[in-house]
Structure 1
Amino acid sequence: MKTLFLYILCDPTAEDDPIAGLTPVEWLMLGAGSIPYRVIEREEQALPVAEYDYHALLLPTTPLVTEKDLLTLTEEMDRHGIDGVQLGSGRLQKTPAFAARKQPKRRCAAPFALEIKTRADRYKAEQVLFRKNAEKCAQNGAIIPDVDSVRIDALSVLEEGAVIEPYASVMGSKIRGGARIGAFSEVENAEVCAGATITRSVVKSSVIGEGTTVGPFAYIRMNSVIGAGCRVGDFVEIKNSRLHDGVKAAHLAYIGDAEVGERTNVGCGTVFANYDGKKKHRTVVGKEVFIGANSNLVAPLSIGNGAFIAAATTVTKDVSEKAFVIGRVREEQKKRE
């Protein structure tokens, strides 16, 4: 059986932007599979290894190469009498770095080695790689109705039973079995636990607990942790906060730099005012607290378990357990002139 040894050229000074999660060189290393390879910095380092029949130099402009392609490459090299090639321009070219024993009769086509020269080439390569990632996840048990429309990078892990709807984006994230990422949602560097649902929302660098529902049009970011069975509704933004199990923020709220206890209700229009113009401050809310609509919680602040904050109240002082707080001005009715 003919054997192949790979050299992968890597310029350490180049700024390789990730393509679908990995740099071009990392994609080549992944694509090599079981075929032996060595990463080198200069073409002159690509020297024949005695125990292998064929050698190939892969340029980092060809990230789409796979192990299957390389096995086909070995057959092509054998057929055309080539023992050393450079792969990087869509064709197999004799490379001067190899002391070849045979002269190639002609160049042979290698359509899988698509060279990336322009942004358009890069977009095409990304599209292919996103599809490969989606197909791999589907083969492992994830439910992806349309592998052509989703964006799943190589760093993401989708467990069996995870659902990714069309036009969703999953980057560097872990999606547990039974979780659902709805259409047009973005999940980046996050973990979505079993049974959770993300609907047309953005989740970045955060954890979504089991059975929690997010969205539509919610934004969760910056190291937030949402517990199990929570409800984060439309137009709710959560930043650097922890919501314990059963918390509900159904709509139109901002929760920043806060910890919210179990089964607390955050009313519509509530704002956790965490910034005093110079520094960010933290708010701690106990469990089973009711926060009425249009309330403002001015940090630093602590609210005890079971407290009740009446609608349209601005809270600036700590609240004790089971206290009732109301801070709005009494309305007046006057006759119109």
Structure 2
Amino acid sequence: MSDDGGNGNGQRFINITEDIIPDKIDYVKLISKIWTYIREYTPDGPRPQFYPEVLKKLLQKSCEVLKQDEMVVKVTGPAVIFGPVYGEGDSMISLMSLAKKVPPEQTYVMLGCYLGRGFAQIECLVFLLAYKILHPEKVVLLKGHHEESISIEMLKVKEWLMARGIERDVDLEECMIEMKRACSMMSAAAVIDSKILCMPGGPGPTIREKGLQKLVGLKKGVQAIADKKLLMEASWSVLLLDDAQKDMHGMPFFTPQQATDFCKANNLKCIVRGRQMVDEGYLNKPREVVTLISAVAYLDNFRNHAAVLQVDNDKGKVIRYKMEEGEQLSLELVKPGMGRNAVS
């Protein structure tokens, strides 16, 4: 592979799967190594690499584990709900640290979009899949629109894999196939304590028409075209907040009033979702909807907070932070320090 990592003054590459046996993966060790890589990341630091056999085995195992979840997972609180992380590993581990407890001490519900254009483009997904394998009842991974097969192609994930030392065509194709299979087995939604619906997108028109129970009844695997539409809406639906958004170019959407009506019809207290960028890290509009983003300063084009929602019975607490102004030099300078070694 091309030697384009680092700044020429030290280690150029770090193989995250070094000393990891493909047929007997030490998931605790793998999680720790990814956490350390993210924590110590600097723009001119060493680039990550993976052995393809380890990655393929992890994806295959995670597919088996994810398949065991219902399409709509029933969760008993307390729980922490994460919005999209978009490959921003620093945001992910910082919010985990601020939440103070990690699985299995506390349930995490993740609202999709683990893949993204942050520096940990693939590492966030691998980290969370490893966590899911370790604690299947305490980690809920929902499928966001970035985990759709078409999005995996459009994001050019194959190029990200090549940059991580996976260069043989056969390995690239097999990794892509296994990644798509694993993501296809992610659930569409979760319900916490029968009252809080967690869904990456939201109740699009078909979901509103058919009702939540139609989604609950779907099985993992091959679906009919009508059922695929339900799943697509769960991942892609946009909350229409003002008239300027009306031309959605075919994108499924729902309005504040439709969200209110959906909650009433399905005996829900609220919907917690991701999908849209919100400056404060969360947006509670309408009263029955909370929109989260868990990627700070998204794409470096925004100065948004990153946030998670901690729920316990009828109480909710937003945990958030904002990156310091100015250029990012080191995670040690711009991220909160408390508890960051909790997983390592």
User: TM-score by structure 1 length?
Assistant: 0.23
Whose helix proportion is higher, 1 or 2?
Answer: 2
Whose strand proportion is higher, 1 or 2?
Answer: 1
| Greater relative CO (CA pairs within 8 A, separation 6+) | 2
Asked which structure has the greater CA Rg, the reply is 1
